[in-house]
Amino acid sequence: MSGPSLTSSITCQFGTAQSADVDLLVVPWFEGEDASAFDGLDRAASGEISRAWGAGEFAGRPYELFVTPLVDRAWKPRRVALIGAGQEAAFGPGLARRLATAAAQAGRTRRVGRLGIVIRPGQAAPSGDVDVAALVQSIAEGLTLGEFTGATYQTSAAQKAGDPPAFVIVVPPFTDTSPESPARLEGAAARGRVLGESSNLARGLANEPANTLTPREFSDRASRIALDGGASVEVLDEKQIEALGMGMLLGVARGSSEPPRLMVFRHDPPGVSSGPVLALVGKGITFDSGGISIKPAEGMEKMKGDMAGGAAVACAMRAIARLNAPVRVIGVVPATENMPGGRALKPGDILHSAEGKTVEVINTDAEGRLVLGDALWYARQQGATHLVDVATLTGGVVVALGKTTSAVFGTPDWWVDHVRRTGDRAGDRMWRMPLFEDYRDQLKSEIADMMNSGGRPASPITAATFLKEFTGGLPWAHIDIAGTAWADEAKPYMPKGPTGVAVRTLIELALSSDTWKR
């Protein structure tokens, strides 16, 4: 494993919460429940739950935490942590994932050795209102996401968090009585574990400083991650990139002393030699100064994470291969720095794309669309039939949607809507943005086929419009994660720092290919 996440273990235990062999038992608790909601628990805690409930110390609001010892020796857990789950009617896999992350972080802070989280009857009714396997997968994802720490370079023992606990998902007998249930639920936990690990690996890459994660180092680390999952890897150097005619990627790279790289990952499942080929394309700018159109100094340190889209693709390919998704998948990541060196790209320069189109550079800080344009073309040359690109592309998308929602663009409607729905299920909330033809007018150039920037008005839309020129009419979705790739404020389910956004969406797209193959 690469990056700062530490991996322990996740197991499923089938039995009662009373028999769970853990140090801390986490019990999701809904608003409006009283102390009698969980049979025998208040009695085992010497009435502390009813006392806290009556005093208003704990009310079940989302992410509230109340910890108390269990004194009844008939209960194996030594302590219980009630975690607020909000309204029961609103509960589902998405909230379960976040609660599990919050629980994992709390367990790590308390240096718990073994932490268990129990599935409540109200969460997984035998009626089938909630898919128990989906719930187990989400909890496993959340527990794994809670292992991540961004404090990679801290040297003081006082600064460091404890190691992550060993995790147990407690599955009571009521959830399913079918003979195959244990194997099915254990498989769901294992799948959630892989998704969470891959997200953490992407977070680790995005958190790495640019002086260590150069384009060459990025390609080396990303290659090891993808190979670990079983994907095949090819890395093209600057000479191979030039031979392909990728003038836009080379143009952005000119200002840096670091040579560019083009990473190509492949998943070819056994027995699948025909049908659709899903291409995942990720922006891999390992540091974005803005080039000659230099960015303001404030906040520029976060531009080390301008390769978050590329990290998402590389780490998704790890999981796609490891979980043996039933569809062929190609991952393409163009990696370079965008720097204001003596040979740097200048406003007014003309670039020749591998597609054959010419581009007038208006703003050198609109570099992501340039490298992605050549990468989208390359994915098509490799046989792609469906395209998804992920990029921290525009500041304008943050103005439009803030820091909690990614924007998705593309054509045709059915493909974009499918990608959006997949993202919502995976925990990567998205909102669809328009892509009307008249936005193309903002990119008209008097000297070349088009400009690389349409200015500030509708900047996320004109950036997507630029990318559309390189999709060849294939089903294509563009996900702008500029607002969601980095959390500026800590939340119970997300520390400050890289979020790993889009990793699970890309994995789920490949795993659920039967729902979109056309």
Q: What are phi and psi of 286, to 5 degrees?
A: -75, -20
- Assess if CATH 3.40.630.10 describes domain 208-515: yes
pTM score of the predicted model: 0.95
- What is the full DSSP assignment across 82-141? EEE---GGG-SHHHHHHHHHHHHHHHHHTT-SEEEEEPPTTTS-TTSSS-HHHHHHHHHH
What count of other Cβ atoms lies within 10 Å of the Cβ of residue 174?
14
Q: What tokens appear for 389 in the block?
A: 């690109």
Q: Mind listing the pLDDT tens digit for each residue in 170-190? A: 998 765 656 668 899 999 999
Instruction: State residue 32's pLDDT score.
Output: 86
Helix (H, G, I), strand (E, B) or coil at 54: helix
pLDDT score for 101: 97
46 - beta bridge partners?
A: none
Could you tell me the residue ranges of all domains in the chain? 10-172+180-188, 208-515
Residue 103 in tokens? 């629980």
CB 333 within 8 A of CB 375: yes
Q: Tell me, what's the pLDDT at 2?
A: 41
pLDDT of residue 481: 98
- Pick out the chain residues at pLDDT < 50: 1-5, 125-128
CA nearest to 503, candidates 278, 255, 310: 310
Token pair, residue 42, equals 């208040």
Q: Which amino acid is at 420?
A: R
- 408 DSSP β-pair partners: 432, 479
Q: Is 304 a catalytic residue?
A: no
Asked if the domains at 10-172+180-188 and 208-515 fall in one CATH topology, the answer is no
51, 76, 295, 440: the active-site residue: 295
How would you class 476 by CB atoms within 10 Å of its CB: exposed for 0-12, middle for 13-18, buried for 19 or more?
buried
Task: Report the alpha-carbon distance of residue 243 to residue 240 in Å, rounded.
Answer: 5
The pLDDT value recorded for residue 127 is 42
Q: How far is CA 140 from its chain centroid? A: 15
What integer pLDDT is reported at residue 178 of this predicted model?
Answer: 63
CATH topology of domain 10-172+180-188: Leucine Aminopeptidase, subunit E; domain 1 (3.40.220)
Query: What integer pLDDT is reported at residue 3 of this predicted model?
Result: 44
| Tokens (6 digits) for 81 | 């942590």
The yes-or-no answer on residue 369 being catalytic is yes
C-alpha Rg value of the chain to the nearest Å? 24
Catalytic residue among 304, 369, 380, 468: 369
pLDDT of residue 8: 76
Question: Residue 51 CA to chain centroid, in angstroms?
Answer: 40
CA distance 517 to 515: 6
Query: How far, in Å, CA of 215 to CA of 284, rounded?
Result: 8
